[in-house]
Amino acid sequence: MTEDPVDGGRMTEAPDQERTKSTYSLQWNRFRIVRPEEDRATFRNHTGLEPADLAGRIVLDAGCGMGRYLRVAAEQAPGLVVGLDLSLAVEAARAVAEQHSAAAVVRGDLLRPPFAPGSFDHIYSLGVIDHTPDPAATFASLARLLRPGGRIVVWVYPRERPLIEWVMDLQRLVTTRLPLAILLPLCRILAPIGGLKRRMMASRSRVVERAGVALHVATIGVSMHPDPEVRVCDTLDWYAPRYLSRHTTQEVAGWFERAGLEAIEDLGRDPRFFHHGQGRGVNLAGRRPATVDA
């Protein structure tokens, strides 16, 4: 039992995040993947942030992983960029931060962030809140860290059609219970299927294209990223974590509204990266009001 400040100081059971720690400690130290052009494009498309927005600002990368977007923000922003992550991915992220004078990385839990309320001008959190035990509470906890007028942007997995949700849940029911020492080699064995799906789904033959879609549904978590090593990493990212929730735009907009945020924008309409994973998602931004009415 721990005292939980998020829960008004009541005594609550701390949620079990051991699998999150072990998965991402392994994943982001084993796969320190840097794809500068893709990372910059994903950062721009999923945050809507330009270098001018970040200049002189204090920025939080909430759930920074190995720091691929921390690197982009730090390169663009002559301000301060802080990465926060629960796992030993912070070791990989610190190696990134060391190359930038105004970047730092802290290990901690987004549900109990080690920062004072109102600390940040910008917060971005890409593919993280959906890996926490209570996404709505995690969002509320992050929104409190915004200064008046500050902006937060999040990307989470989208809720799929019932059949797809069922296939995803069924597969993950098994895979999330497998030891990582078995799951990682399994992902390596499965990864070529991602390349095959990609080629089939791009086929001009309608029959081959449909067969590719069927194969994709049957192996829904196997990444189709063009780079075989990223494919292994993304496939592990799908099958290993205990928490992987999917959300509707309406639900996420509700998190923003309940946190009292305004100017809510939907950035999630860009399908450019869909074919290899973190593309199609629920991607909203909003601002804390600059002044609070008396």
Ligand X SMILES: C[S@@+](CC[C@H](N)C(=O)[O-])C[C@H]1O[C@@H](n2cnc3c(N)ncnc32)[C@H](O)[C@@H]1O
User: Which window, 48-56, 105-113, 162-170, 219-227, contacts ligand X (CB under 6 A)?
Assistant: 105-113
Nearer to ligand X, 127 or 212 (CB): 127
Task: Compute how many other C-beta atoms are within 10 angstroms of the C-beta atom of residue 23.
Answer: 24
Tell me the closest approach of the beta carbon of residue 267 to ligand X, in angstroms: 15
| Strand pairing category for 2-3 and 11-12 | antiparallel
Size of the site for ligand X (CB under 6 A): 23
How are strands ordered across the β-sheet holding 120-126? 103-107, 80-85, 58-62, 120-126, 146-156, 282-287, 262-266
| Long-range CB contacts for residues 1-4, cutoff 8 Å, separation at least 24 | 4/112
User: Which window, 86-94, 141-149, 165-173, 195-203, contacts ligand X (CB under 6 A)?
Assistant: 86-94
**Residue at shortest CB range from ligand X:** 65
Nearer to ligand X, 65 or 212 (CB): 65
Sign of CA dihedral 214, 193, 67, 24: positive
Radius of gyration (C-alpha) of the chain in whole angstroms: 19
Tell me the closest approach of the beta carbon of residue 31 to ligand X, in angstroms: 10
Nearer to ligand X, 103 or 200 (CB): 103
Q: Which helix (H) or strand (E) holds 180?
A: helix 180-201
Distance CA 86, CA 138 (A): 13
- Residues 15-34 close enough to bind ligand X by CB under 6 A: 17, 20, 24, 28
Among 74, 77, 89, 191, binds ligand X (CB under 6 A): 89
Nearer to ligand X, 80 or 129 (CB): 129
Chain residues that interact with ligand X, rule: CB under 6 A: 17, 20, 24, 28, 63-65, 68-69, 84-87, 89, 109-111, 126-128, 131-132, 237
